[in-house]
Structure 1
């Protein structure tokens, strides 16, 4: 990805804390507990208040939450210590998203299909529970939102810190700011339909433009290629991001009739080739960037150098534009404008 997000701490993270407690302290200890009761939450009083309120409120989301927790508890009671140990390992691995993206061999991701192989009943019911956790009919319930806050508030605080204003996965589209009433969707980087335990983890949730989310990534898997092989992927909250390199070569001098076949794109640096290939495959980057270079925007980039150079030569004005683009790479698609104009210059298209 072009740049990474800065992670923010927010009360919404408390929902993941609740889930951690349910999984590790309720379900994984079910085999040594006689029966399910709200007393199991005595060491997590805020969560106890939530499940108790859900019990007496008769809401669809609350009833689902409480009912599924108890149903899963009863299945865990039938599991062997080895099976529970395996589930705990999968839980910790799936919630260590940064190391999964690095393809660290110490962290092995699991899917619902893996859990179903371990226990035929458990996989489907866990999927129903975790997919439903990220839903407004649950998260908007007052008994819960009073504890964890609202996702709209998280979004507003998020974009106040992450002020680039562009989708980091493509750089082509704006991300809604705190000054508009709408907000971008949060992408489940590890798809919630495939990977258990991470549907409400904000380490797995990142605001993303609609074109990247619905039009390109969808439910594609960043951790495995189409053949099922593990691979490296960019982590959206990497504290030490790489500086992206984009090189463009044009195989035609006819800017007005440029086609994708006339453009060669190269991404770097080479030490992150695997992450770059994953990024390209997930978000259709090469296709979209080539299309941009064949658009009216690219024609404007070119004509601007010729038409607005004033008393300077086009080459002199080009140098100014390239310097400006370097300083503000994500404004006006400068990260792509710069290599495109450099490619034009290499063909002597600005020489009069």
Structure 2
């Protein structure tokens, strides 16, 4: 319906035909149901009468390009920015298209229910935030559910305001506190597409050796990360969601607790442990965490414990007792 309004109605505006005469019958029902919507649609229609043929072509092209979310993420298409479009898009269309998402889309009789969409995705796929993997997503039963994020923000790409392919459930930290209105185009132009099937990104932790290294209180500069899959897309993800900084804090927060737990398993429960070595205990913990690796940041704990296996000085300390 939005495509119809933008491309077939506004981009065909003229003095020879009224706005209502161009409306599809289904959209006309909505148009007549909400006075605020009718007023805004009519105002924009009048503004669009002065558009040139090139202006109309530019708007149509922007609509289709900016709704090709997968291609935009891959970098095979570049989004068309508001600055390159006629003024009517910025001054009038954008504010109305924001209203298509809220409040219009909130009305289930109009276009479906955002809550049902969120609940279906979280119930089937997104137990933790798909952008950071750190935050547990609120379930369908919770009143305080997480956010639906416009990956390409409405304020910059209003034509994709109600495109569910542009709408991904994410945690509040990723959406409001990290990403905001940032886009891949501000970095290197490529990103992971939220609904694309792909391999998990494997995370590796490296603890940097230094004279001041203290495992009981790791510092920011002691911890580094490596990621599998696409390096350029990983950089974009880090730019959008602050991945390395947040992972660094997370690892330093749990590192001492994890090492103490390993120590307890080896020394304080010798009868249960049956004299297993430090390496054997680590392997057991890693295997256990990998069974449910996206719960309680266990994928980072796995990476951290694997790095501990590469620290012979620490294995020697534990094994000599």
Taking structure 2 as the reference length, the TM-score comes to 0.89
Cα 1:122–1:152 shift into 2, 3 Å: closer
How many residues align structurally?
Answer: 306
Question: Given the superposition, is the C-alpha separation of residues 91 and 121 from structure 1 closer, same or farther in structure 2, using an over 3 Å criterion?
Answer: closer
Structure 1 runs of 4+ aligned residues shifted over 4 Å read none
Residue 46 of structure 2 is aligned to residue 74 of structure 1: yes
- Residue among 150, 162, 179 paired with 1:200: 162
Give 1:1-352 correspondences, 5 Å limit: 18-31=1-14, 33-37=16-20, 39-41=21-23, 44-55=24-35, 63=36, 65-104=37-76, 107-115=77-85, 119-136=86-103, 138-141=104-107, 145-162=108-125, 164-225=126-187, 231-239=189-197, 241-252=198-209, 254-269=214-229, 272-295=230-253, 297-309=254-266, 310-311=273-274, 312-348=276-312, 349-351=314-316, 352=319
> Larger radius of gyration, structure 1 or 2?
2
User: Which stretch shifts more, 84-93 or 306-315?
Assistant: 306-315
When residues 109 and 315 of structure 1 are mapped into structure 2, their CA distance, relative to the original with a 3 A threshold, is same
Distance 1:315 1:113, change over 3 A: same
For residues 255-299 of structure 1, the C-alpha deviation after alignment (integer angstroms, 9 at most, x for no partner) is 211011111212223xx111000001111111111111111x222
* Structure 2, unpaired ranges of 5+: 267-272
Contact 2:66/2:80 (8 A) holds in 1: yes
- Cα deviation, residue 33, structure 1: 4.8
The Cα shift of 1:90 comes to: 1.0
Preserved CA contact (<8 Å) 1:189 1:222: no
Using structure 1 for the length normalisation, give the TM-score.
0.81
SS in 1 for 2:165: coil
Partner secondary structure for residue 139 of structure 2:
coil
The 8 Å contact of residues 201 and 228 in structure 2, kept in 1 or not, is answered as yes
Distance 1:175 1:306 in 2: 32
Structure number with higher relative contact order (C-alpha < 8 Å, ≥ 6 residues apart): 1
The 8 Å contact of residues 75 and 122 in structure 1, kept in 2 or not, is answered as no
Give the gaps of 5 or more residues in structure 1.
Answer: 1-17, 56-62
